[in-house]
Structure 1
């Protein structure tokens, strides 16, 4: 999977630079910064981590890994110039749906959770790829936004774990409240209020 993603991103044209490695450095840093540049991306990706924490077990790594892998494919579509319709709407809805999913706290089968985050990852990845700055190295940019996303997932796992330390009685409610806040923020993003 990683090889396929790398091949897609490597096929993207990049501009020539006078200084060796400039595109790679610039591309990686732009890619790393892109996921944290918008509230919608941050909330969705942190909720993926919190959802993985809620599910526990193998979901701790499979749910975030699914998001990153499918997001990379979506990024490849964006870099290659394909069109994913309504991607901004898909991103906003992802915040609402992931927030509500966390807020409900209902255990979901692992495959369902992976399918859900994978579906929304297409929209996030497409946005990252389509918004790649001119002159950024495609592979480096892709690795950057994958790393930035993974860090946000880790932050979500950490948030879930940190809330879990509150105690067995209040932790589930606090995690669910976190999802509710994210869902409300998603509605604000969807309606243009945020």
Structure 2
């Protein structure tokens, strides 16, 4: 827990310039399947959000098929959002919405709060829509948009799966460790929201 005592204050006070959807990012770093697959790994907000979806599913959902509901719902709505963005439609305040998704995901992980299946799908779908619109809007008019999105989708599903696996590992270490991980994700969301203000 010494690690958590050090990291939590740092996360709470840091200014995080990690937005993955800034104007400079639009199109410049998207060049096909491999770039798309690497993109969720390069921005801290993306990486943590995708892992947190799987982590929450692994901790809170009933064993079996229910564990896959939130990750698959997220992936499906990521594609829907990307289609909206590719059509040239942007969401206002998309970065604060993505930061807010981290805050909520962190709270869900920390509390290990189980939601009804419909609520899980709706919540994850809303978060995914924000992420997807941001990506799609950046890729609008780009020739490699489809393979880039395919790479992002594959990496997203891989990170969800990693989060599910991580849930089991963290639970075996100590039951307080997954909670601490959730609070750190939530604090990252707070820090990102503060940076957007």
1:1-194 to 2 correspondence within 5 Å? 26-54=31-59, 55-57=61-63, 58-132=65-139, 135-166=142-173, 170-171=174-175, 173-192=176-195
TM-score by structure 2 length?
A: 0.77
CA offsets per residue over residues 100-134 of structure 1, 9 Å max, x none? 11111222212211211111100111111122387
> Greater CA radius of gyration, 1 or 2?
1
CA offsets per residue over residues 19-68 of structure 1, 9 Å max, x none? xxxxxx94111211221221111111111001110113323211100000
Following superposition, the deviation at residue 98 of structure 1 comes to 0.5
Which runs of 4 or more aligned residues in structure 1 lie more than 4 Å from their structure 2 counterparts after TM superposition?
Answer: 133-136
Give the gaps of 5 or more residues in structure 2.
1-29
Contact 2:86–2:140, Cα closer than 8 Å, also in 1: no
TM-score by structure 1 length?
A: 0.79
Cα distance between partner residues in 2 of 1:42 and 1:59: 23
Contact 2:73–2:121, Cα closer than 8 Å, also in 1: yes
Give the gaps of 5 or more residues in structure 1.
1-24
Following superposition, the deviation at residue 83 of structure 1 comes to 1.7
Contact 1:34–1:128, Cα closer than 8 Å, also in 2: no
Cα distance between partner residues in 2 of 1:153 and 1:179: 15
CA offsets per residue over residues 128-169 of structure 1, 9 Å max, x none? 112238754222111111011111111211211211222xxx
Cα distance between partner residues in 1 of 2:140 and 2:128: 20
Contact 2:54–2:161, Cα closer than 8 Å, also in 1: yes
Contact 1:50–1:102, Cα closer than 8 Å, also in 2: yes
> When the two structures are aligned, how many residues end up with a matched partner?
165
Cα distance between partner residues in 2 of 1:67 and 1:151: 13
